[in-house]
Structure 1
Amino acid sequence: MKTLIDHLSQYAAYHRDPRNIATHFIGIPMIVLAVVILLSRPGWGFAGLWLSPALLLALMASVFYLRLDTRLGAWMALLLAASLWAGAYLAAQPTSTWLASGLGLFGVGWLFQMIGHYFEGRKPAFVDDVMGLLIGPLFVLAEVAFLLGQRTSLKQQIEARQAALTSTSARS
């Protein structure tokens, strides 16, 4: 299994332009929320929980994130729980509200992604590795942590890996 450093370094290679990273701060949360909203139907209330495909996906993603890194995984699980709450709320609304919310967030989120990758001049990471779809939200969270002065050791390890990858590709 790839490590956190492996995943984030590979993803970071596709995201070097600060404008692209900035668009990901907006686009990726919108897309994650949209997917949760759209997968919140069908759903069933049971013991105070909204059981839906979104819950199953969020649980599996949370386990994946927690296995990569406990602290970032816990934050991702909390963010996914908040998304599940919003998804359950919107799933209980009329179909037009639920669908417009989910599809609208999804479309606008991907528009931000396309704009960012236009600035980057490079295709999205998931085109070469579908895991990029799961790593993208974790990348955004890690970037927020770095901006807040947290996880500096992790940032240094990713940057060192990036430097090594760049020098290897330059020699090829």
Structure 2
Amino acid sequence: MRKLVDQLSQYAAYHRDRRNIATHFIGIPMIVQAVAVLLARPVLVEAGPAAVSAATLVTLATALYYLWLDVRLGAVMAVLLGLALWCAQVLAAQPTPVWLGWGLGLFVVGWLIQFVGHWWEGRKPAFVDDLVGLVIGPLFVLAELAFLLGLRRELQQQIEARVGPVRGAAVAA
């Protein structure tokens, strides 16, 4: 679990304001879906009725990375990424203006929401210093959701021991 704590702590250091984290609950899923949508149309391999797109490969690689970091969180992320991929494939099958509109629209709005959160935080996004932050962001959101639900307390405590508690929220006992 050390690698998971390292990755989430590094990302969490840029996200200690509750308002910023709240924007990530909206913005990051939008960005993940946008990337899946935009990568779903370029087909890399035709395999009969099934096709392998760039989105398929990115989803698989990302899910495997999350599973390597943590089986429980990784399994949930694999399911969520699979749903995003399914939705992306549906949108990629639409006429180009629909596909591109959804992909670019989700991407731009998602990032605008993120930047509002970082304005509140008073700190630049984590990926500016480390591009791995782009991959850890979705896992961070899932971990924060788990913490809000009272799950993975040991993980939350390890992260907070490194970067401090979230500001602007009641501290749970």
TM-score by length of structure 2 reads 0.90
Task: Name the counterpart of 1:84.
Answer: 85
User: What corresponds to 2:143 in structure 1?
Assistant: 142
Match of 1:168 in 2: none
CA shift in 2, pair 1:156/1:49, >3 Å: farther
- Per the TM alignment, residue 41 of structure 1 is displaced from its structure 2 partner at its CA by 1.0
**Which runs of no fewer than 5 residues in structure 1 stay unpaired?**
164-172
- Letter in structure 2 aligned against 1:32: V
Pairing 1:10–2:5 present: no
Deviation string, structure 1 residues 13-72 (Cα, Å, up to 9, x no partner) = 000111000000000000000000000012366466441000000111011100000000
Answering whether residue 142 of structure 2 is matched by residue 125 of structure 1, we say no
What are the residue-to-residue correspondences of 1:17-96 with 2, within 5 Å?
17-43=17-43, 46=47, 49-96=50-97
| AA of the residue aligned to 1:63 | L
4+ residue runs over 2 A deviation: 43-50
What amino acid is aligned across from residue 112 of structure 2 in structure 1?
L
Amino acid paired to 2:10: Q
Contact map agreement 1:50 1:88 (CA 8 A) in 2: no
CA distance in 2, matches of 1:49, 1:55: 11
Measured in 2, the distance between the counterparts of 1:46 and 1:71 equals 31
Unaligned runs of 5+ in 2: 165-173
Aligned-pair Cα RMSD in Å? 1.3
Partners in 2 of 1:109 and 1:10 — Cα distance? 22
SS in 1 for 2:161: helix
CA-to-partner distance for each residue in 1:98-154, whole Å, 9 max, x for gaps? 000000000000000010000000000000000000000000000001111111111
Give the 3 Å change call, closer, same or farther, for CA 45–90 of structure 1 in structure 2.
farther
Which residue identity does 1:55 align to in structure 2? T
CA distance in 1, matches of 2:31, 2:80: 13
Does residue 112 in structure 1 map to residue 106 in structure 2? no
Partner-residue secondary structure (3-state), 1:3: helix
Report the TM-score when normalising by structure 1. Answer: 0.90
